[in-house]
């Protein structure tokens, strides 16, 4: 099969439908000019554009691994929506989020994954654990799985808490080789019995070319912020790519840590 670089569509928000108050960053269901519903992650929320970057990169890496993620799109938000919103918190959020934001296709009728109800096979569980080790996703625990069952299939959502290193950008090389110690809390770790096979398949899929193509999707305006330690958007993207390439090249470190954590659990 011929490899095609990922592409993201851009839509425009036309109607604010309802907030999703279970999310700490107050995402919302909105309607766009293509008549579809989306869950929007707003740039004006607490973690700013870094959460959007994490969502974008982790989501497209998951897709490259063959995992199911709702379509990710860029969404233009007019700050004027905030003027007619009666809730002051939402009003402030919308007014702070004018411009380009990120959204995921809303999976109507999806239900939250419950490990007591649905059993995930070892291959799929191992792939997801591998992904979350790679991106250091702290938010896939039994209390908050961030996985949905939709049309009898497992879908991954909400990766905004990944890449927590990019809030400081310190010791990038060291961070790239660091095990993910919080994998011990992963909801799927007990089922992840095929981590070595998942590692081999993932290393073949997540090539430097794919990494470069994914980080190339990050808009300049999300990178050229006042707190960025880089002079150009290009340098910023190269840092993300270098971090990911380093982690993939040294995946044996985080795989060993995950296997050790799993043995402790069982």
pLDDT in tens, 175-215: 899 999 999 999 999 999 999 999 999 999 999 999 999 99
The total number of residues written for the chain in this structure: 266
Q: What does the DSSP 8-state code read for residue 239?
A: H
Terminal-residue alpha carbon distance, the chain? 39
CA distance 74 to 207: 24
Segments in 71-194 forming alpha helices (H) = 88-95, 122-135, 172-177
Overall average pLDDT of the 157-178 stretch: 89
For 19, residues 6+ apart whose C-beta sits below 8 A from its C-beta are 26, 27, 28, 87, 90
Q: Tens digit of pLDDT for each residue in 81-124?
A: 877 778 888 899 999 999 999 999 999 999 999 988 999 999 99
Residues β-bridged to residue 13: 32
User: Over 80: is that where the pLDDT of 3 sits?
Assistant: no
User: Tokens 């990911």 — which residue?
Assistant: 244
What pLDDT is stored for residue 87 in this prediction?
85
User: Tokens 């927590």 — which residue?
Assistant: 164
249: number of Cβ within 10 Å: 13
How sure is the predictor about 25, in pLDDT bands with cuts at 50, 70 and 90? confident
Overall average pLDDT of the 155-181 stretch: 90
Rama region for 227: left / alpha / beta (φ>0; ψ in -120 to 50; rest): alpha
What pLDDT is stored for residue 24 in this prediction?
65
How sure is the predictor about 125, in pLDDT bands with cuts at 50, 70 and 90? very high
User: Over 80: is that where the pLDDT of 41 sits?
Assistant: yes
Overall average pLDDT of the 37-59 stretch: 95
What pLDDT is stored for residue 265 in this prediction?
82
Q: Indicate the pairing of strand 111-112 with strand 99-105.
A: unpaired
């Amino acid at each position: 099969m011929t490899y095609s670089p990922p592409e993201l569509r851009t839509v425009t928000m036309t109607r604010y439908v309802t907030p999703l108050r279970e999310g700490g960053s107050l995402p919302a269901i909105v309607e766009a000019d293509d008549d579809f519903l989306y869950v929007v992650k707003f740039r004006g929320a607490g973690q700013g554009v870094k959460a959007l970057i994490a969502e974008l990169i982790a989501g497209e890496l998951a897709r490259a691994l063959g995992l199911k993620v709702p379509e990710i799109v860029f969404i233009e938000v007019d700050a004027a929506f905030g003027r007619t919103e009666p809730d002051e918190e939402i009003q402030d959020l919308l007014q702070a989020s004018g411009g380009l934001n990120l959204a995921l296709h809303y999976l109507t009728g999806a239900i939250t994954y419950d490990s007591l109800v649905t059993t995930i096979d070892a291959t799929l569980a191992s792939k997801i654990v591998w992904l979350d080790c790679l991106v250091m996703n702290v938010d896939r625990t039994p209390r908050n799985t961030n996985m949905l069952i939709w049309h009898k299939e497992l879908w991954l959502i909400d990766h905004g808490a990944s890449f927590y290193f990019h809030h400081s950008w310190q010791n990038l090389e060291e961070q790239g080789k660091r095990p993910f110690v919080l994998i011990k809390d992963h909801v799927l770790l007990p089922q992840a019995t095929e981590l070595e096979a998942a590692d081999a398949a993932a290393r073949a899929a997540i090539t430097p070319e794919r990494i470069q193509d994914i980080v190339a999707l990050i808009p300049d305006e999300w990178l050229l912020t006042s707190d960025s330690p880089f002079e150009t958007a290009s340098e910023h993207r190269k840092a993300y790519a270098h971090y990911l390439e380093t982690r993939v090249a040294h995946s044996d470190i985080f795989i060993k840590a995950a296997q050790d954590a799993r043995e402790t659990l069982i």
